[in-house]
Structure 1
Amino acid sequence: MALVITLTSACKKALDLDQKGVYNTDNYFRNEADAVNAITGIYSLLEGEDYISHAETTFDIASDDYWRSGDHSEDEAIENLTYDASNAQVRYSWKWKYETVNRSTNCIINIAKITNITDAIKKRSMGEAYFFRAFGYWRLMVIYGEVPIITNEDYLTQNFNVPKSSVEEVRKQIEADLKQAVDMLPESYTAADRGRVSKGTALGLLTKLYMYWEKFPEAIAAGQQVITNPNYALAANYQDNFTRANENSKEILFAVQAVQNVIQNDYTIYYIPRAWGGYGFSQPLQGLADEFEANDPRKAATLLSVGDQMDLGDGNGLTTFTADLSETGYSFRKYAVFNTVGDGGGPDHTYAVPLMRSADIYLLVAEAQIRTQGAGAGDALINQVRRRASAALPPVSGAGMTQLIHERRVELAGEGERHQDLMRWDKAQIVDIAAIYNLPVSKAPLDRNKTINFIRPKHYYYPIPQEEIDKSKGVLVQNPNF
């Protein structure tokens, strides 16, 4: 795999550019700077609009929390569970996750050989690469189920056309990489390296892996290392996680980072109303709004309702959220982050979008405790999350899965967890996802309904992109029922 680096000047034509260097894996990984830059190249993938931004959020819109809105037919098909193997979002997702896997594997193989590097940076960089390879496989497994595992040897021989591995094998691959990452990554960083993945990030993803695997003792053990570590403490206020200053929050274990005037994050514009500079996709439904308790401030921090006011940074003071800004009467406030007047106003493309928070891990450990020890075993952790939201929220006592499911829905609303949560609970026969998705959901103010026909086991996973099957010439086999 070659890496071509050029320096450009705006006053030159493209054909006049002087190529400054041609690098490949044989001559690129020479020193510490090369290692750090290669790892940065993995992080940069998170900025891709067809990776984390639009494509990833689409995979939650089938849930009872969202109306897709927007004008993308591929999104409508995913929302209604009528997609097929040619769906554009299904196709984009595969490509970018394997790009993450490949860049990470490249770093794992080659950074290990660098001698002109400090031990600390070498260890950290290897840990980052192991984490990101695990993350790539994690998202592939959650979305597609059985997927090909590209080994180091496959990478070295450029053998990328390999058959699918079982879900169990993919989980073992993710587990192995995350354990490596846990051993290598630091617990925290100084301001200069803020935003890098940490030991807590790897432990958090390992907790999630074990929960999907239904390895509850292992999930508790991994999760406890997050929730007992002050480096990953819950933010003082729930809304602190969804502000311009949130990159300083210890609670955010993993986020999409961006830098003003250097690289922008397009994630939030999909949630911001079109009239306010966004695209207005993924609008909350009334059912989600109704799920919040009357005195839960997370509702106001999560949702924009008709009559709410926001400062758009345009110099016009407060702007009122009106019914015509959303087809459902709601928008996600937690992603409505705007620049100040001095920055030019408009959507803030440097906002650090949380991809994993400690609160998620608190609730996963609470769930594992309930499912292994019975109702009430997770009360302490659920109440920590509730108390952080508001001292006025009554504590739970003897909480079972009903209370846990409620808490995850309101705490993590709009953060891409609901659809996958419901599917894993359906597999465990804790909920009936088909019944939940077939209940009419009022789509105010247009008086429409959203009903979805969930078919087991077909809809537990998405199809392998047809173009990938075609390119494999029979090596890849389509998922059942597609």
Structure 2
Amino acid sequence: MQRIKYITGILCAALLFTACKNVLDLHPQGNYTTGNYWRNQSDAVDGITGIYNILLEEDFTGFNEFVFNNCSDDQVRGGDHDYDAAIESFSYDASTYSVRVGWRWKYELINRANNALIYIPKITDIDAAIKNRCLGEARFLRAFAYWRLLLIYGEVPVITTENVTAGNYNQPKKSISEIRALIENDLLEAANLLPETYSSNDKGRVSKGTAWGLLCKFYLYGDQLDKAIEYGSKVTGNAHYALAPNYQDNFSVATGNNTEMLLAVQTLDGAGYSDFSTYHAPRAWGGWSFFYPTKSLVDEFENGDPRKDICIMKPGDRINIGTETATYTADLSWSGYHYNKFTSWKPSGGLNYSLKTPLLRSADVYLLVAEAKIRKSGPGAGDAEIMAVRKRAAASLPAVSGADMKALMHERRVELCGENERHQDLIRWDKAKLVDIAAIYKQPKLAYNGAEITRGGAARTFQRPKHYYFPLPQTDIDRSKGVLVQNPNY
């Protein structure tokens, strides 16, 4: 199955190269700017592909986005980054590396999307359906960047096409309601413009289902339960976005681009490279060992749940590392575990970088709909959606009946483990007074043998409302010369 071929040269605010037949075969064709690049359909399609390229960045979804989930009870930091330790212990400040590096790439994604939204409407040499699709992709990707900024930082500057046209980029923070209004408008417009599905040549591009799925999440986080159900049901009721037949399909090179994968980073071994798998794999087997599951997460899986073995490497497990089948031992990690679901090896040896990084799956949307229904109508209202996810995992798992929020929380934790949802789930539920996040984070993180993990395992202090958001990067506050104001409590 062919994927989006990311342009790995320069395709940013000023495009320097045209598209090529091979992503590694770039030939200069002249000097282009945003003013003279957007000439025809080929330029539009390639320009949009260049927006997706941002998702490959190490300091965005290639690694740094997933550092924020070290705050959760699901995983403990690995590696040698002292600034990741600050994230995990809630001792970070506005100068902490992990706080600031992703900011740049989210705004770069917004910048590229804004340029597409300015220039593509002016192109006349383009098929109408392709034009609409490109504009829908730009709308969605801009919304996605603002969504991540909103979850991480709260109030942030908003840069729109009007700011780009006027060259006025130094903007103050907008209120959360203003940012939400922009995200909502972009996602609704994207849903109108995007196709429901794609041919094999364009698998990996965002669809109506991707926009509907993010709208479901967006509305649930805003406590708009009816709208979360409405838009989530557009995904759960559409065969184009059906759950993959097997859970493992989502974490396999051959089947990663399935109907369930609403949004994923489209890496391609030898071409479009992301560090994601490297950061998750054991050092002894070619990785960097930066994310370790905790005993609490591993114990959350029920007996007989096949997702446990798919998701987690445990002492004694036999792991196919391409050239051999190796035995996993506890000394490979500080916790005695690794994530298995994010690793794959080539038969010739070495990590297989064609494995996708999942950013939004239909299973996530099923469980968001279930949550909205339970919170609106009470236990049992979300049974159908929860059971769809459980039955896909294994028909032998006990059926749920009258499932309450505790059952919903369990299902999200095991289904989505490691996918950068747990910390934000806990924050959402804490704000709704469904859990006590401070009490959860007061518990130490334990290794496979029940001992406190020696690095990163100590109990943490979560302060409300301070730690609902991270501080804005101090470098950008300084650059604004007083226009940008730091978040409260920092």
**TM-score band (shorter)?**
over 0.9
Paired residue type of 1:479: N
Paired residue type of 2:112: R
Paired residue type of 1:369: K
User: Separation in 2 of the partners of 1:450 and 1:409?
Assistant: 21
Distance 1:297 1:108, change over 3 A: same
SS at match of 1:463: coil
The aligned residue for residue 454 of structure 1 is 462
Task: Confirm or deny that 1:73 pairs with 2:69.
Answer: no
CA contact (8 A) 2:307 2:414 kept: yes
- Kindly state the Cα deviation for residue 221 of structure 1 after the two structures are TM-superposed: 0.4
**Any unmatched runs of 5+ in structure 2?**
1-12, 21-25
Paired residue type of 1:44: N
SS at match of 1:50: coil
User: Separation in 1 of the partners of 2:76 and 2:160?
Assistant: 39
User: Separation in 2 of the partners of 1:19 and 1:348?
Assistant: 30
User: Separation in 2 of the partners of 1:438 and 1:322?
Assistant: 28
User: Separation in 1 of the partners of 2:53 and 2:351?
Assistant: 20
Task: Confirm or deny that 1:295 pairs with 2:299.
Answer: no
* Alignment counterpart, residue 357 of structure 1, candidates 361, 370, 384: 361
Post-superposition Cα deviations, 1:325-375, rounded to whole Å, max 9, x if no partner, equal: 11111100101211122xxx2111111221110000000000000011111
Task: Confirm or deny that 1:340 pairs with 2:347.
Answer: yes
- Kindly state the Cα deviation for residue 132 of structure 1 after the two structures are TM-superposed: 0.3
User: Separation in 2 of the partners of 1:23 and 1:378?
Assistant: 52
CA contact (8 A) 2:318 2:325 kept: yes
- Kindly state the Cα deviation for residue 6 of structure 1 after the two structures are TM-superposed: 8.7
User: Separation in 2 of the partners of 1:105 and 1:28?
Assistant: 14
CA contact (8 A) 2:249 2:256 kept: no
* Alignment counterpart, residue 437 of structure 1, candidates 426, 441, 463: 441
The aligned residue for residue 48 of structure 1 is 57
Paired residue type of 1:236: P
The aligned residue for residue 4 of structure 1 is 16
- Kindly state the Cα deviation for residue 451 of structure 1 after the two structures are TM-superposed: 1.0
The aligned residue for residue 337 of structure 2 is 330
* Alignment counterpart, residue 321 of structure 1, candidates 325, 328, 331: 328
Distance 1:299 1:120, change over 3 A: same
Paired residue type of 1:388: R
- Kindly state the Cα deviation for residue 167 of structure 1 after the two structures are TM-superposed: 0.8
User: Separation in 2 of the partners of 1:135 and 1:356?
Assistant: 11
- Kindly state the Cα deviation for residue 233 of structure 1 after the two structures are TM-superposed: 0.3
Distance 1:262 1:440, change over 3 A: closer
CA contact (8 A) 2:445 2:452 kept: no
- Kindly state the Cα deviation for residue 450 of structure 1 after the two structures are TM-superposed: 2.8
- Kindly state the Cα deviation for residue 4 of structure 1 after the two structures are TM-superposed: 2.5
CA contact (8 A) 1:42 1:104 kept: yes
- Kindly state the Cα deviation for residue 68 of structure 1 after the two structures are TM-superposed: 0.4
User: Separation in 2 of the partners of 1:18 and 1:226?
Assistant: 41
User: Separation in 1 of the partners of 2:318 and 2:187?
Assistant: 43
The aligned residue for residue 11 of structure 1 is none
Task: Confirm or deny that 1:312 pairs with 2:316.
Answer: no
Which stretch of the first structure deviates more once superposed, 237-246 or 445-454?
445-454
User: Separation in 1 of the partners of 2:19 and 2:467?
Assistant: 47
CA contact (8 A) 2:293 2:339 kept: yes
User: Separation in 1 of the partners of 2:269 and 2:82?
Assistant: 32
**Paired residues, number:** 469
SS at match of 2:78: coil
CA contact (8 A) 1:285 1:328 kept: yes
The aligned residue for residue 223 of structure 1 is 232
Alignment of 1:81-480 (within 5 A): 81-314=90-323, 317-341=324-348, 345-444=349-448, 447-448=452-453, 449-480=457-488
Cα RMSD after superposing both structures: 1.6
Distance 1:198 1:19, change over 3 A: closer
Which stretch of the first structure deviates more once superposed, 390-399 or 413-422?
390-399
The aligned residue for residue 12 of structure 1 is none
- Kindly state the Cα deviation for residue 247 of structure 1 after the two structures are TM-superposed: 3.0
Post-superposition Cα deviations, 1:30-63, rounded to whole Å, max 9, x if no partner, equal: 0001001110110111111111111101011110
Paired residue type of 2:83: E
Paired residue type of 1:318: T
Post-superposition Cα deviations, 1:187-241, rounded to whole Å, max 9, x if no partner, equal: 0111111111111011111111001111000000000000000000001111111
- The structure carrying a bigger strand percent of its residues is 1
User: Separation in 2 of the partners of 1:48 and 1:328?
Assistant: 27
Paired residue type of 1:320: T
Which stretch of the first structure deviates more once superposed, 446-455 or 250-259?
446-455
User: Separation in 2 of the partners of 1:2 and 1:353?
Assistant: 28
User: Separation in 1 of the partners of 2:264 and 2:92?
Assistant: 29
- Kindly state the Cα deviation for residue 245 of structure 1 after the two structures are TM-superposed: 1.4
Distance 1:427 1:18, change over 3 A: closer
- Kindly state the Cα deviation for residue 444 of structure 1 after the two structures are TM-superposed: 4.1
- Kindly state the Cα deviation for residue 261 of structure 1 after the two structures are TM-superposed: 2.3
Paired residue type of 1:456: R
Percent identity over the alignment? 53
When normalised by structure 1's length, the TM-score is 0.95
- Kindly state the Cα deviation for residue 447 of structure 1 after the two structures are TM-superposed: 4.2
Post-superposition Cα deviations, 1:371-405, rounded to whole Å, max 9, x if no partner, equal: 11111100111111111111111111111111111
CA contact (8 A) 1:195 1:247 kept: no
SS at match of 1:60: helix
CA contact (8 A) 2:337 2:448 kept: no
Distance 1:325 1:25, change over 3 A: same
CA contact (8 A) 2:212 2:235 kept: yes
SS at match of 2:144: helix
SS at match of 2:30: strand
When normalised by structure 2's length, the TM-score is 0.93
The aligned residue for residue 6 of structure 2 is none
Post-superposition Cα deviations, 1:236-262, rounded to whole Å, max 9, x if no partner, equal: 111111111133311110000122322
CA contact (8 A) 1:265 1:350 kept: no
